[in-house]
Amino acid sequence: MSGEFTESSPLRVAVVGSGPSGFYAVDALYKADVNVSIDMYERLPSPYGLVRSGVAPDHPKLRNAIKVYAKLAEEPPFRFFGNVTVGRDISVEELQHAYHAVIFTCGAQTDRRLGIPGEDLSGSYTATEFVGWYNGHPDYRDREFDLSHERAVIIGQGNVAADVSRILAKTADELKNTDIAAHALDALAESRVREVIVVGRRGPAQAKFTSKELKEFGELADCAPYVDPAELELNDASRRELEDKQNANATRIYELFRTFSETPAAGKSRRVQFTFRKSPVELTGDGRLQHVRLERNRLEGEPFQQRPAGTGEFTEIECGILLRSIGYRGVPVPGVPFDEKRGIIPNADGRIVDGDKAVPQLYVAGWIKRGPTGIIGTNKPDSAATVKSLLDDAAALASLGEKSGAEETSRILQERGIRYVSFSDWKRIDRSEIERGQAGGKPREKYTRVEEMLALLD
């Protein structure tokens, strides 16, 4: 394979997206037996995707992966093109002309909808908006969340639901030394939310939290977790799920719920309640959200295949803010096939397909390839599998002849007046954020507007 590409005429690859799957694709390409030149395109001036803007500010250790990504970015001849939106600033066709292969690793950028009446009432939000807002993501800098009501409802029982619930439940003192965005910290300090209800469609045995995430609710300064003991009753299939030795995390989760049901509030002023086997069917209110109507569910099916089914019994919860956290979905890239139903780029083993035919030169990895499943590390083998498919196509890619890569695309961007951000530019932004944070006792104070980042550079 190495003979098909040389140091003077390498395999030129463009990676679109700078999150974990993008950097793991870079890593797999560097480790392969091939002369390769890689350029990465990112629509924001800042790299690292959800590791920067999706990880909760009170979980800084999860951002340690950034050290690995930064080291990869320093490997010549890697080039970073931040502040460049593929499909707008430069077309996919232009990337195909400049590179042998293009790998799309642009993630799942929006939330799935509930699909119920009242979903768009004022006071009803997505978890993506809220997470981006408190993490300083420029797309969500100007979002406003009405925190003047005492009860919030979270739809979903995965780790993102845990994050947003925990941020709502924490005091300002618990957050002030994290890298939470200053505007979010100010708003949360004034929050009147005192009760958070976390709603799951299935039962306590099927909740998708990690035990580590859930355990933190019992360690909050002024918030007590609670579960109604009656809701911990299990059907036979759920009991069998918990008896399975391969399902140890679910057992730990269930035991934590049992602990929450038996632990007194101990004078704490806030409460997070976990409730199960309920699905939202309607949001109501006079001009803004006031109530969420829930249908009680029963579980049907064999162990590990149980699905919720409505019982026709309903309950209503008064609330002033609702966040839905029921999964993410990708968004289309102009010039690339897209599966609207699944919210992914259709592919076969990482090769992008249009119908039954592979699209030459185009590949995909990460959530936009497989859907929003797994943790940060799950993207490593996924990206490696896509790179294997790409390298299996090396002969066909080599037949395209020599490609000019960044030489061609940088000229196009300059002609169009696109101010792209290099990795050395990003390091200047990074240093400035750290300096700003140190002044306030924080690890960093992020720039939350693209204009601020570019002004620092220019």
- Euclidean distance between the first and final Cα of the chain, in Å? 43
Q: Which H, E and C letters describe the chain, residue by residue? A: CHHHCCCCCCEEEEEECCCHHHHHHHHHHHHCCCCEEEEEECCCCCCCHHHHHCCCCCCHHHHHHHHHHHHHHCCCCCEEEECCCECCCECHHHHHHHCCEEEECCCCCEECCCCCCCCCCECEEEHHHHHHHHCCCHHHCCCCCCCCCCEEEEECCCHHHHHHHHHHHCCHHHHCCCCCCHHHHHHHHCCCCCEEEEECCCCHHHCCCCHHHHHHHHHCCCEEEECCHHHHCCCHHHHHHHHCHHHHHHHHHHHHHHHHHHCCCCCCCEEEEEECCEEEEEEECCCECCEEEEEEEEEECCCCCCEEEEEEEEEEEECCEEEECCCEECCCCCCCCCECCCCECCEECCEEEECCEEEEEEEECCHHHHCCCCCHHHHHHHHHHHHHHHHHCHHHHHCCCCCCCHHHHHHHHHHCCCCCECHHHHHHHHHHHHHHHHHCCCCCCCCCCHHHHHHHHC
- The predicted pLDDT at position 126 comes to 93
Q: What is the pLDDT of residues 82-101, one digit of tens each?
A: 999 999 999 999 999 999 99
Q: What is the pLDDT of residues 193-209, one digit of tens each?
A: 999 999 999 999 999 99
Residue 376 lies in a domain: yes
Is 215 or 77 the better-scoring residue by pLDDT? 215
Q: What is the pLDDT of residues 9-52, one digit of tens each?
A: 999 999 999 999 999 999 999 999 999 999 999 999 999 999 99
Shared domain check, 8 and 97 = yes
Q: What is the CATH number of the domain that holds 13?
A: 3.40.50.720
- The predicted pLDDT at position 284 comes to 97
User: Considering 274, 300, 327, which residue would you say is the last residue of a domain?
Assistant: 327
Shared domain check, 185 and 172 = yes
Q: What is the pLDDT of residues 251-288, one digit of tens each?
A: 999 999 999 999 888 889 999 999 999 999 999 999 99
434 backbone dihedrals φ, ψ, rounded to 5°: -65, -45
- The predicted pLDDT at position 367 comes to 92
Shared domain check, 220 and 90 = no
Shared domain check, 146 and 96 = no
Residue 438 lies in a domain: no
Shared domain check, 357 and 370 = yes
Shared domain check, 80 and 105 = yes
Domain containing residue 141 = 112-327
Unique residue bearing structure tokens 């919030």: 152
pLDDT surpasses 60 at 439: yes
- What angle do the packed helices 379-392 and 20-31 form, to 10 degrees? 50
Q: What is the CATH number of the domain that holds 190?
A: 3.50.50.60
Q: How many domains in the chain? A: 2
**Among the ranges given (142-156, 164-178, 325-339), the one the predictor scored with the smallest mean pLDDT:** 325-339
Mean predicted confidence (pLDDT) in 385-403: 97
Shared domain check, 197 and 304 = yes
Residue type, 247: N
Q: What is the pLDDT of residues 104-131, one digit of tens each?
A: 999 877 778 899 999 999 999 999 999 9
- The predicted pLDDT at position 2 comes to 47
- Max intra-chain CA distance, the chain: 72
Residue 437 lies in a domain: no
Shared domain check, 294 and 354 = no
Q: What is the pTM of this model?
A: 0.93
Residue 251 lies in a domain: yes
